Amino acid sequence: MNLQERVDLKKTERDDLYTLEPPFPRTNFLIETSNACNHDCIFCAHRKMARKVGFIKPETVDRVLREAYELGTREVGFYATGEPFLVKELPDYIKLAKDIGYEYVYLTTNGALATPERIRAVIGAGLDSIKFSINAPTTRMYEFIHGHNDFERVLGNLKHLWEYREESGKRYKIFVTGILTRYTEDMKDDWFRVFKPYCDEIVFKKVYNQGGYMPEIETLLKCRSDKETYRRCNLPFDAISVTWEGYLSIENADYENMLVVADLNKTSLKDGWYGESMKKVRQAFIDDKMDGLICDGCVHHCPKASEPIMPELAQSNPETGSDRLVRERLKAFGFLDDKTVYVPMAADIVHPGHINIINIAARYGKVIVGLFTDEAISEYKKPPLMGYDQRKTVIGSIKGVDFVVPQETRDYGPNLLKHKPDYMVHGTDWREGPLAEVRAKAIGLMESWGGEVIEPDYTLGVSSSGLKSRM
């Protein structure tokens, strides 16, 4: 199985997995040796992580490796939210895994610290494959994405890795992955031109909401070619993720331990995997009812309020969901020339009035449609004929709409504070009546950060209510 097939398997529909007690994973076992990192990738929640930085205890590594092996696991990777080459014991952990009997041991690195000395140490310990996460193919774009000017250093380390394989006769695999954003999705040819001579395979992944920790990706970084509205995730059924503290999480990118289901310092890996907390998560995924889980925002591409599974082991962080750091990076590199425009609408029946508003909004910048949820609509009129997901599909397909986000209340304040658009566009129909107070609040909020409310004349002669009445 090549790397692309491994990546695809994590999202492939697999009916055999979706039970409360799936087989213990043979693969997909990741150990977070540390959550420390030397880079600041624009799409990564590590930049705003509040969780304590630490390093896993060697005895924890020994114990979970042996427990997983006894349960049938035969592959293990030594990475998660941090950079593995920051861990001095990394070669020891790799050797231990091979000595126990693991058939495939691998790691992912940003490559900046993968010096010849460190490379030789991990290869000598028995590493089977190493993947360089290189998320831009040019010096300037690399610094923009990674936050550090390490492009030439990483390329040099990759070249040495390739040459050392020829020199040593070792049979380890060399991979390169690129996380594509809207700023790099058209640069694939450059990846192949620069990196293909020094690796076995290049695999691309479109940037996504990192387990729910990075909702701003939807509005600021998501590839324009990415039309996905539902992200299948097999992690609760087929992946083991152990944090540096010794916790079992359902997600290897669990930056604040929101998805921890068991403390392996107090229970066995088997009991954690088949425990009640894990079963509840699996049931939520099977039923597609993930209210309260941070996963919900990742799977359904929309930010929602969430709570940790085990609050006593999680770290609260008010920055989770904030787009501040991404916006600062975009601005620093001159990528915030396009303004953002917020357009709230219910869009139960799309008519020329909606198209008119969208066309006007698109003149001012990138259009974010705040689409009222079914519950929000029901607060002030009859439930919609089409559900939220159906309406989102329609609105998201209209020319001029860049993003669709949920508007969960009649009050626009929460979404305006979250996205802080440069403009808000709303028809003049809200100047009087029950929305007048909402309008005043929205104008005040927009003015607080220098934003502006645009009020085109309401399109006369057509309305959703009128069309429903006629039907």
User: For the domain that residue 137 is a member of, what is the CATH number?
Assistant: 3.20.20.70
Evaluate whether residue 320 is within a structural domain. no
Say yes or no: 255 and 374 in one domain. Answer: no
pLDDT tens readout for residues 51-71: 999 999 999 999 999 999 999
Domain final residue pick, 277, 296, 313: 313
Say yes or no: 113 and 227 in one domain. Answer: yes
Tell me how far apart the alpha carbons of residues 300 and 377 are, in angstroms, rounded to a whole number. 19
**pLDDT confidence tier of residue 47, bands split at 50, 70 and 90:** very high
pLDDT at residue 102 tops 60: yes
Evaluate whether residue 367 is within a structural domain. yes
Evaluate whether residue 287 is within a structural domain. yes
Mean pLDDT over residues 312-316, rounded? 95
For 56-60, 238-242, 296-300, 349-353, which range has the lowest pLDDT when averaged over its residues?
Answer: 349-353
Say yes or no: 143 and 265 in one domain. Answer: yes
Structure token pair of residue 373: 């949820």
pLDDT at residue 6 tops 80: no
Contacts of 374 (CB under 8 A, 6+ apart): 383, 384, 387, 388
CATH label of the domain that carries residue 350 = 3.40.50.620
The number of folded domains in the chain is 2
Tell me how far apart the alpha carbons of residues 259 and 32 are, in angstroms, rounded to a whole number. 14
pLDDT at residue 2 tops 80: no
Which long-range contacts link 154-159 to residues 24+ away (Cβ below 8 Å)?
A: 154/110, 154/111, 154/112, 154/114, 155/194, 155/195, 157/111, 157/112, 157/114, 157/115, 157/116, 157/119, 157/132, 158/111, 158/114, 158/132, 158/134, 158/195, 158/198, 158/199, 159/198
Residue 211: the pLDDT is 85
Residue 399: the pLDDT is 87
Among 461, 469, 466, which Cα is nearest to 352's? 461
Say which residue, 210 or 94, is predicted with more confidence. Answer: 94
Alpha carbon 448 to its chain's center: 30
Say yes or no: 375 and 282 in one domain. Answer: no
Q: What is the mean pLDDT of the chain?
A: 91
DSSP for residue 303:
-
Evaluate whether residue 332 is within a structural domain. no
pLDDT at residue 128 tops 90: yes
Evaluate whether residue 323 is within a structural domain. no
Say yes or no: 372 and 408 in one domain. Answer: yes
pLDDT at residue 11 tops 70: no
Residue 301: the pLDDT is 83
Say yes or no: 32 and 113 in one domain. Answer: yes
For residue 91, the SS3 value is helix
pLDDT tens readout for residues 320-368: 878 889 989 998 998 876 789 999 998 888 878 888 889 888 877 889 9
DSSP string, 148-204: S--HHHHHHHHHHHHHHHHHH----EEEEEEEE-TTTTT-HHHHHHHHGGG-SEEEE
Evaluate whether residue 160 is within a structural domain. yes
Say yes or no: 342 and 306 in one domain. Answer: no
For residue 320, the SS3 value is coil
Tell me how far apart the alpha carbons of residues 303 and 343 are, in angstroms, rounded to a whole number. 17
For residue 4, the SS3 value is helix
Residue 218: the pLDDT is 83
Say yes or no: 174 and 297 in one domain. Answer: yes
Q: What percent of the chain has pLDDT over 90?
A: 69
Say yes or no: 270 and 358 in one domain. Answer: no
Alpha carbon 114 to its chain's center: 25
**pLDDT confidence tier of residue 468, bands split at 50, 70 and 90:** low
Say which residue, 271 or 456, is predicted with more confidence. Answer: 271
Among 191, 190, 184, 239, which Cα is nearest to 206's? 184
Say yes or no: 280 and 180 in one domain. Answer: yes
Evaluate whether residue 233 is within a structural domain. yes
Domain final residue pick, 313, 330, 360: 313
With 0-12 / 13-18 / 19 or more C-beta atoms within 10 angstroms meaning exposed / middle / buried, residue 382 is exposed
Mean pLDDT over residues 19-46, rounded? 96
Say yes or no: 234 and 361 in one domain. Answer: no
Residue 458: the pLDDT is 63
Tell me how far apart the alpha carbons of residues 215 and 52 are, in angstroms, rounded to a whole number. 22
Question: Where do we find the tokens 């999680």?
Answer: 314
Residue 438 sits in which domain range?
338-470
Say which residue, 40 or 300, is predicted with more confidence. Answer: 40
Among 355, 352, 327, which Cα is nearest to 343's? 355
Residue 459: the pLDDT is 59
Evaluate whether residue 204 is within a structural domain. yes
**pLDDT confidence tier of residue 216, bands split at 50, 70 and 90:** confident
Structure token pair of residue 290: 């993930």
Say yes or no: 10 and 78 in one domain. Answer: yes
Q: Do the beta carbons of residue 348 and residue 339 sit within 8 Å? A: no
Residue 201: the pLDDT is 97
- Please work out, in degrees rounded to the nearest 5, the angle formed at the alpha carbon of residue 190 by the alpha carbons of 151 and 137: 20
**pLDDT confidence tier of residue 470, bands split at 50, 70 and 90:** low
Q: Do the beta carbons of residue 145 and residue 136 sit within 8 Å? A: yes
